[in-house]
């Protein structure tokens, strides 16, 4: 992905959605890690995805779940939401998303 996005001949339309591409790629990698039982890697990619979305708090968490469901359905599977939401790594990723939401709201209050 880095090599692709670093190419000078990338169309401007792609450049304009670079963050969205990065966000969704990171979500897919996070889901793939989850789907293969690599929860620590899932958490790392979910946390990294926070750098590429304007969604915060519960909105980003719901987006994660929606995308994980979509990726699972694409493979003919049903997402086991209990399994994922019960994992320590998922809870840690959620804590990070909510912490960023809190920090963002505190920054906005001081302006």
Q: Tell me: the pLDDT tens digits for 50-81?
A: 999 988 889 999 999 999 999 999 999 999 99
Residue 84's φ and ψ, nearest 5 degrees, are -70, -45
Q: How far apart are CA 44 and CA 96, in angstroms?
A: 11
Place of tokens 């960023």: 100
Residue 88 lies in domain: 2-109
Specify the residue for token string 């599977």: 77
Q: ∠ CA 56-58-59 to the nearest 5 degrees?
A: 60
CA 52 distance to own-chain centroid: 8
- pLDDT band for position 104 (50/70/90)? low
What pTM, to 2 d.p., does this model score? 0.81
Look at residue 10 and tell me whether its pLDDT is greater than 90. Answer: no
Tell me: pLDDT of 2 over 90: no
Mean pLDDT of the chain: 88
What is the domain count for the chain? 1
* pLDDT computed for residue 59 by the predictor: 94
Predicted local confidence at residue 103, as pLDDT: 54
Q: Which residues neighbour 37 within 8 Å (Cβ) at sequence distance 6 or greater?
A: none
């Amino acid at each position: 992905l880095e090599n692709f996005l670093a190419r000078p001949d990338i169309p401007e339309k792609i450049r304009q959605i670079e963050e969205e591409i990065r966000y969704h790629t990171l979500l897919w990698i996070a889901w793939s890690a989850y789907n293969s039982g690599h929860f620590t890697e899932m958490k790392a990619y979910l946390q990294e995805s926070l750098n590429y979305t304007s969604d915060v708090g519960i909105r980003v968490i719901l987006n994660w779940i929606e995308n994980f469901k979509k990726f699972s359905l694409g493979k003919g599977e049903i997402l086991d939401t209990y399994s994922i939401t019960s994992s320590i790594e998922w809870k840690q990723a959620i804590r990070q998303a909510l912490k960023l939401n809190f920090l963002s709201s505190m920054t906005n209050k001081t302006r």
